[in-house]
DNA sequence: TTGGTAGGTAGGAGATTTCCTACCTATAGT
DNA sequence: ACTATAGGTAGGAAATCTCCTACCTACCAA
């Protein structure tokens, strides 16, 4: 069970958020992930390690390959953390909506 | 208009998340916030600066004091980012994910 | 067994973060 | 005007992050 510290820290990197987004499509090999980033493979490996330790991805070995899969459960901690604030931006949003009806793309 | 990078980065620190939590109660002076942390005031000032630049707090001057208020709107970006993942942990919650697990080895 | 490929680990350079002390500015009260 | 208080800024030390190259292991194929 990952501590939420590790989860928030893992999400702080745009690269790591992009990895998670790629995994929304389904499990991927490291190489397949690496193609999307302008960085050497070992660097990506380290990002994957951070994600693994936060519990946000899991690894399955298959022959020479390792498939990484999304493990979104820790994100629930983020959603839960967000809950008490939700009320506030909703208030702000509805106030704004009267004035800027089309601006907030929702 | 804060970029979501700054928002996620701001949230990566437990201290800064705790500041936001304290501000759920309403605006507070710096000293009042500082009481909750085991750190010198200038260090907290720097955390407040990160939060300000992420648009997550605002400052209002009143005499010698500065009141910090929660500005939760940027958190909506986080909630929005979370949306596509929500479906997945919901599935996991209902146990559906366990059935699909055998299938992700494509 | 030899060679090629997937991907991790080691170690280090440079940037960034996080804390500190020292100092500065602004306001309030006397 | 003088002093005290609130809180920000400057600059630096230590820790951490993020990238790199070099290397290692594991597996597959000939």
Q: Could you check: is the Cβ of residue B66 within 7 Å of any atom of nucleic acid strand D?
A: yes
Q: Is B8 on the interface with A (CB under 8 A)?
A: yes
The matching CATH number, chosen from 1.10.10.10, 3.40.1440.60, 1.20.1730.10, 3.40.190.10, for A4-97 is: 1.10.10.10
Compute the nearest-CA separation of B63 from chain A (Å). Answer: 27
Extract the residue ranges of chain B whose pLDDT is less than 50: 97, 100-106
Q: Could you check: is the Cβ of residue A40 within 7 Å of any atom of nucleic acid strand C?
A: no
pLDDT at B18: 98
Q: Indicate the burial class of A6 (C-beta count within 10 angstroms; 0-12, 13-18, 19 or more).
A: middle
Q: Measure B47 CA to C19 C1' (Å).
A: 11
- Domains of chain A by residue range: 4-97
CA B23/CA B58 separation, integer angstroms: 11
pLDDT at A92: 66
Using a 7 Å CB cutoff, list residues 68-97 of A near strand C: none
Q: Measure B104 CA to D13 C1' (Å).
A: 49
A18 pLDDT higher than 80: yes
pLDDT-derived band at A94 (thresholds 50, 70, 90) equals: low
Topology of B4-103 in CATH?
A: Arc Repressor Mutant, subunit A (1.10.10)
Both tokens of A48, joined, read 């994957």
How many other CB atoms are found less than 10 A from the CB of residue A67? 20
Average pLDDT, chain A: 89
pLDDT at A99: 53
């Amino acid at each position: 069970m990952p501590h939420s510290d590790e989860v928030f820290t893992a999400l702080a990197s745009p690269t790591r958020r992009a990895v998670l987004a790629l995994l929304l499509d389904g499990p991927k090999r490291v190489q397949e992930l690496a193609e999307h980033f302008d960085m050497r493979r070992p660097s990506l490996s380290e990002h994957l390690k951070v994600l693994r330790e936060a519990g946000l991805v899991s690894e399955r070995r298959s022959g020479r390959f390792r498939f990484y899969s999304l493990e979104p459960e820790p994100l629930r901690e983020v959603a839960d953390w967000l809950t008490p604030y939700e009320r506030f931006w909703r208030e702000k949003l509805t106030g704004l909506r009267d004035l800027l009806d089309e601006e907030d793309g929702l």
